[in-house]
Chains A and B, each alone.
Chain A
Amino acid sequence: MKELDLLKKDWQKEGNTFEQVSTNDIYVMIHKKSSSLVKWILIVSILEFLILNGISIFISSKEYDAFVIAHPIIKTLEIINYVVIFGFIILFYKNYKSISTLNSAKDLIKKILKTRKVVTYYIFWNIIFGGLTGTYVGLQGFNEGMKDANTNADVLDTSNIMVVLVFGLFLMGFIWCFYKLVYGTFLSRLSKNYNELKKIDL
């Protein structure tokens, strides 16, 4: 291809046309913070972790503590949750350690996408677990709160349950959309490049 040869010739001699960066500039640069994708994924997942757990600290109160004592199953669920989250943190750490720019491009993208997948599972866990416990606590709390005022009969009817359920689903959907929005922009190009490499190697 004649044009490509022409380009190659031009490419190899053009070195001196770039504005040269001084050693001083390089010193300054290497002390700056990276703004790389992986770092942003890490920051966002840490923020998510803090926010999701921060919410539970905010909503805890004396009434809630009393409620937990009355419903020991919540304590069990909390313990399970912490064990699972701890497992996720170990996985996060292991993944980030394994990401290195010295891998081949395909390996590197694969690792980043795998890291991302773990974050996805983590979010899923939080949405589903949080949604279910929230709904359970909501239903029980509602039931008991109303019982005192009325007779001792169960006041939960189908329409009440439906309202709580719909609200819970809406909340889960909202969190999911938010999360898609945050990561979607980061990852679309990466997935595209990975698919391209996979396509070449089929």
Chain B
Amino acid sequence: MSEKLEQTFVQLLQENQNIIHKICRLYTNGEDAHKDLFQEITIQLWKAFPKFRGDSKFSTWAYRVALNTAITLYRKTKRSISTVEFEGRQHFLNDVEYDYEEEEQLKLMYKAVYQLNDIEKALIFMYLEDKDYQEISETLGISEVNARVKMNRIKGKLKKILNPLEA
């Protein structure tokens, strides 16, 4: 593949790398696994790049390849999530808005999301990224109605994980 193509790709990926980081954060546990999946997604994106026409945003295009890699191609076995991982999440709230109760809630929420399965994580990911149901349905290959129904079920599931007694 030509050098120019390579340059364009590296530039685009560098600018949009947070998408991949976010997927890695959702699907892996620990720094090594994160880096590993990041690399695999990068390779898959690069392999698919010649087919990227530029008629959609790079980020939109990257969602599909990156999620597919996380759901189907990544072969590392997942370790169970440790509580230590969540202690480090504190810095996600910056100092100005530091709110102990909110932070505690967020921590629990992240923990709950980790307990979802691969497909549910993909749906939640797209929801958090503010994607509409049409894009969710196209990416996963399910109908829009079903994506909506499933999303509601996931919300219910998260609620149940957060408040096991109420549900």
Contacts and interface: CB of A to CB of B under 8 A. Distances in A.
Interface of A: 1, 3-4, 6-8, 10-12, 14-18, 20-23, 26-27, 29-30, 32-38, 40, 100-109, 112, 185-186, 189-190, 192-193, 196-197, 200-201
B14 A196 contact: no
B112 to A, nearest CB: 8
A21 B74 contact: no
A18 B69 CA distance: 20
Size range of the interface on B? 35 or more
B39 A29 contact: yes
Contacts of B108: 3
A29 B35 CA distance: 11
A101 B155 contact: no
Nearest to B73: A36
A34 B138 contact: no
Interface string B147-167: 101100001001100100000
B4 interface: no
A106 B136 CA distance: 12
Contacts of A34: 40, 43-44, 47
B48 A201 contact: no
A189 B102 CA distance: 34
A163 to B, nearest CB: 42
B28 to A, nearest CB: 13
Contact of A102 (B6, B65, B93): B65
6 nearest A-B residue pairs (beta carbon): A106-B141, A104-B141, A36-B73, A18-B21, A30-B46, A11-B128
